[in-house]
Structure formats: C-alpha cells, structure tokens
Amino acid sequence: MASVVVKGIRRELTLLAAADLHHHDPNVLTDAVRHFAPDVVVFAGDGLSNCVARAGRSWLPDLAELASVGVLAVAGNADGRDALVKYGGAKVYDLARQPVDVGPVRFIGLEGAPLIRGLLPDGLGNPLYSERDASHYLNRCVREHPGPVVLVSHAPPRGLLDRSIRLDRNVGSIAVRELIASRSNDLRLILSGHVHSQGGRSCTVDTCTVYNVASFQAYEGVVTICYLRLNPLAAGVLFVEPASPFGASLRWTRMGELGFLSGMQRPVAEKLIAGGVTRLDELASLSGEHVAKHIGWAPAKASVWSFRAQAVVQRRPIPVGPLGMPDAPRWYIDIETDPWGGRECVWAVALASHETGEITQWYLTHRSGHRGMLRAIAVALSQLPERKLIAYSGSRFDERVLSEHMRRHGIAVPPALDTAIDLHPAIARSVALPGTGQLKDVLRAFSIVHRDGDLDGMEAASRAMSALRRNQPIPRRVLRYNREDVRTLRALTIAVSDLVGTTAPLPRRSRPSGGAVRRRQDDQRVVELLTSHGLTLAALAKANPWILGRMQSGRRISSLDVEVAIRRLGTGSR
C-alpha cells in the first residue's frame, strides 16, 4: 500500500500520544504539546467533537503546528467515520486511510472499534469493523515495508489493557493481537485508548509494548499522555524509551510539571508558578523556608513539596520522618469488593501476620455463601486486639464496606476491624514518593515485585464477579491478586521502616465521641435482637420494605428499626 512520506527525519524522534478526551478541556493537551515540543503528536480517537466545541475551532491543526511532523490520528468509535475529514487540516494525517512513513518508521492506523459477538452494534458507536476486514487492512499496510512499524489503534489488542468494567468483558481487537504475533520482529509499539479504566497503563508482549493512553472521564482537567522517544537502530530495530525523566505515561494538568507531585493542589501550584517556580528541579532545590514564602505555609509543612519534588526528580523515595506503626504483634488485611462500590458483596479477604508472614484467605465459591464467609472472617478478627490491624486505602473504604456487610447480616463488627489503621497516611508522612500514593506505585518505588501487578482492583473485581454470576469458581490468578496485595503490604512496611531508620507509634486516634459510642452500642443491640428471634438482617429485609430500602441505599439500620420490623412480623412476643 502506498504511504505518505514525511522527509527530514533521519534518526530518533519524540512522540506524544493521547486519546478519549470526551469531557476534557483540549487546551490541557495543547499545553502538554507546547511544554514537551514533540516531533509527532498521536491522537488515538474519541472526543474530537467535544474538543472542537470547547476549543471553538478545528483544534487538530493547532496541535499539528506545534509538532515538526504533525498529528497522526485515527477516529474513535464515538467520533463518526468522517470525523478526521471534518476536523482535519494541514499536517493532520488520517492513519486509517493511509500509512505515514517518518524516516524508517511506518505508522499505520485502525479507527473505531471491533464488532463483538453478543453486543448490538447500535450501542457501540461508529465506525465499527469486522475482525476479518481489519486484519486484511493491517496486513496490506505492512506487507511491503521492511522496517519498524508503529500501530495507532483506537481499540487495544484483545486481552491486553482492554477489560471493560461496564460491559464485563474484553473489548479489544483480535486482528491487532494477531498482528503482534505475525510481525513480532518489527512491530514494536501500539498506542490505543477506548477502555478508559486502563488509561495510563502499559504491557509488553514479545518485543511489542502496548500503551493505553485513554483519559479517564471522571477526572476532569486531567489528561493521560504518553511521551516516548523512538530510535531506529542500524538493523531496522526500533528502540522505544520514555522521553521524559518522569516516565512514559503521565497525568497532565494545567499545573504543568507541578501536577506530577502526589497531592498537589491547584491553589498551591498557582502560587508557586506566580513565584517563578514552574519546574520540578527548581522546586526540589528550594528549602522549606523558600517554599513557605511562596505559598504562605509554615516552613515545616511547606517542605513536603520540596521533598516530593526531589523524589520525582531523583526517581526514588526520600526519607521525611519515622514511620508510625503499632507495636508488635500486628496483622495486615486486604479486602476485595464488587466493582460497584461494594454494594453487592465482599468476595475475598486476606489476612497476613507481620511476625510470621502466614496468610489466611477467605473467598466466595458461590454468592449464597456470603454470610458464612463474613461470619468466619468476624470470628478470626475477633481474636485480634484493637489497633493491631493494618490496611491500605487512604479512605478506609474497604474496611467500612466489610463492616457494613457484617451489620447487614446481623454479625457483630470485631473491634480490631473497627479500629483498623490505614497505612497510607502513615507512609505519606514518613516518605516522599516519586509517584502517586497508590499501592502499586509505592511498591514500584521500593522495588517490591507484585506478581500480579498488571491487574488492578477494578479488573480483578470484574473478573471475580463475572465468574460468580456464572456459578463458576473465581479464577486462581484473581484470588492470588488478593493474597499478593497483603503479602506486598507487609513487605512495604518492612522496606519503609528500613529506609527511615526508626519507627514510632502512630498517634492514637482521639477518643470516640459520645455519638460513636452510642452507635456501636446500638449496633450490638441490633445483633442481639436478631439473634434472640432467630433472624438475619437479610431475612428481615425480605419481609419489610423499610429495612430493605435502607439496606439498598446504604443507610444505617438502628435497633429501633429492627424492633419495629420484628413486631410487625408478629414475633415481638417470642
């Protein structure tokens, strides 16, 4: 197939890619292109009409003017088949119509999404393609090209960064996956989007690296970008590496480089930028006193931004203070819930001893066994002392969900779970990290290997619930993911303790308020009422719409609610 040849590029080139800007400000991506000044901008589809509407003009030609080669793009399944004809312009190349050769590197493209058996085309948008047609087109694009190839496909390869939580299935392209196998020697890079929850992630198959550059819709003003350097070697091999010292996949905001810092707030960034501090290396060189002058904080508190900038620039954790930990013995817990906010069930819990490393796991084999699993977990946790159980979330979400499900089933919440300690803020106080505070990022910072690190919590939950709905066992790898979370949490605690040198007890939480004490006593009264009448909360909800409504809405059920419901059942005199 004939290609467009872009002259003037002989050796390495830089590339910045993005996709799925459905609800995002396109000027955020424009800022990123202006900041990094890449040779090539790649747009992997979706959100073109939104970008044009918000920018008030065609927008893609504006991006093309900022890059020496221009914009290489494909339409997404939400763009429409002629989107690039409508919104294109000078130096904007539609890879789904014709390959583009930039030096020795051939860029090819696949627009839209594949037709998937069992899904109606009406709900998948346009353009759509059959796998047979896609395979034929891709093979035509590469048949006569002997050098390295880069594929821009809106849909990822089937089985790679393509698990849709909403559809509960893999939605990638089989044709793209087959191209990896057939061109394993020269297909070195695939840039895709489509599956928003996979944005910012990458994986490698054989010698081909796949990046999903979709921006997540829920994060308004945060655009996922991928910034790479492509270096064609003498033997026709394409060497791909991050072009930024901050990594390949980045979350870009209007805060610029300062937005790479974990926890950075827009007002703080604006004050630093107004003071002339726009780069992380500049911020890393400042003392706490200098930072405090810019942002108006106390020096001891302001120094956290210098430490975090140092961590990102040096790509390593920076000690800040002692890690607060409870005295031995202690245990670690990891709780897995359904992907819908934990409304339906808890499907696995793993518990590890700090002293021995022994791991105990409970998991569902069938959804009807939920209450029995919760009861077994409650029995085990009731044997642990208070404030000795350690979790990692930053919000205590999982612990609250597990407690709520126990209450729904009339099971007393163990004090150890009610007083569990969240390790996330303790680590944030003791160490400045080069990435986010998410567990996988923190593990990478300390070179701790998670054997299922390519999975994330949402994908694991989706696979587990999919198996349970089909009355099949949860996949072994998904269960191992739960065990790995708790194993690596123990390893992380040891690594952080070694780095900061000493440990100190966490500050004890303030004494519970009178309201909290009364709620705990009332929860115990709910359990006693249900037990004395031989009932469970689930059974009571089936017979009482009021109880059922409160359970479904996640609202607390008081002992008075239960007592009134029991009387209406005619069992109050028992």
Instruction: Return all residues near 358 (Cβ < 8 A) that are at least 6 apart.
Output: 352
Residue 432 per-residue DSSP state? E
Instruction: Return all residues near 360 (Cβ < 8 A) that are at least 6 apart.
Output: 350, 351, 352, 380
Under the phi-then-psi rule, with left for phi > 0, alpha for psi from -120 to 50, and beta for the rest, what region is 396? Answer: left
Q: Which of 63, 122, 58 is nearest to 88 (CA)?
A: 58
CA–CA separation, 432 and 427 (whole Å): 8
CA–CA separation, 334 and 243 (whole Å): 36
Q: Residue 453 CB: number of other CB atoms within 10 A?
A: 15
Q: What is the mean pLDDT of residues 98-111?
A: 93
Helix runs in 386-509, H state only? 397-408, 415-418, 423-430, 439-445, 457-469, 476-500
Class of the CATH domain delimited by 257-314? mainly alpha
* Per-residue pLDDT at 573: 35
Q: What is the mean pLDDT of residues 376-389?
A: 95
Collapsing DSSP to helix, strand or coil, 353 comes out as strand
* Per-residue pLDDT at 295: 95
| pLDDT confidence band for 327 (50 / 70 / 90) | confident
CA–CA separation, 42 and 47 (whole Å): 14
The CATH code that applies to domain 323-504 is 3.30.420.10
Question: Rounded to a whole number, what is the distance in angstroms from the first to the last CA of the chain?
Answer: 84
Instruction: Return all residues near 528 (Cβ < 8 A) that are at least 6 apart.
Output: none
Amino acid code (one letter) for 427 = I
Query: 3-state SS string over 55-124?
Result: HCCCCHHHHHHCCCCEEEECCCCCCCCCHHHHHCCCCEEECCCCCEEECCEEEEEECCEECCCCCCHHHC
CA–CA separation, 510 and 489 (whole Å): 26
Collapsing DSSP to helix, strand or coil, 398 comes out as helix
Q: How many CA atoms lie within 13 A of 10 on its CB side?
A: 0
For the chain, which residues make up each domain, given as ranges? 12-252, 257-314, 323-504, 514-568
Beta strand 359-363 pairing with 323-324: unpaired
Task: Give domain 12-252's CATH architecture.
Answer: 4-Layer Sandwich (3.60)
Phi and psi, residue 189, nearest 5°: -150, 135
* Per-residue pLDDT at 123: 64
| pLDDT confidence band for 529 (50 / 70 / 90) | confident
Q: How do the residues of the chain divide into helix, strand and coil, expressed in percent and rounded to 5?
A: 40, 20, 40
Beta strand 4-6 pairing with 318-319: unpaired
CA–CA separation, 212 and 500 (whole Å): 35
* Per-residue pLDDT at 245: 85
What radius of gyration do the chain's Cα atoms show?
Answer: 27
Q: What is the mean pLDDT of residues 537-558?
A: 72
CA–CA separation, 419 and 277 (whole Å): 42
Q: Per the structure block, which two tokens stand in for 291?
A: 């930072």
Phi and psi, residue 539, nearest 5°: -65, -40
Residue-wise pLDDT for 452-511, tens only, equals 988 888 889 989 999 999 999 999 999 999 999 999 999 999 999 999 865 655 554 455
Alpha-carbon torsion 90, 91, 94, 97, what sign?
positive
Residue-wise pLDDT for 58-78, tens only, equals 789 999 999 999 999 999 999
Residue-wise pLDDT for 3-44, tens only, equals 777 765 657 899 999 999 988 889 999 999 999 999 999 999
Mean pLDDT of the chain: 88
pTM exceeding the 0.95 threshold for the entire prediction: no
Q: Residue 270 CB: number of other CB atoms within 10 A?
A: 14
Amino acid code (one letter) for 219 = Y
pLDDT over 60 at 571, yes or no: no
Q: Which of 203, 228, 223 is nearest to 213 (CA)?
A: 223
Cβ contact 551:432 at 8 Å: no
Q: Which of 77, 79, 153 is nearest to 115 (CA)?
A: 77
Residue-wise pLDDT for 398-455, tens only, equals 899 999 999 999 999 999 999 999 999 999 999 999 988 889 999 999 999 999 988 8
Cα 367 to Cα 54, 338, 350, 364, 405, distances in angstroms: 46, 12, 18, 6, 13
Instruction: Return all residues near 335 (Cβ < 8 A) that are at least 6 apart.
Output: 346, 348, 349, 391, 398, 399, 401, 402
Residue-wise pLDDT for 119-129, tens only, equals 766 667 889 99
Q: Which of 328, 331, 312, 344 is nearest to 392 (CA)?
A: 331
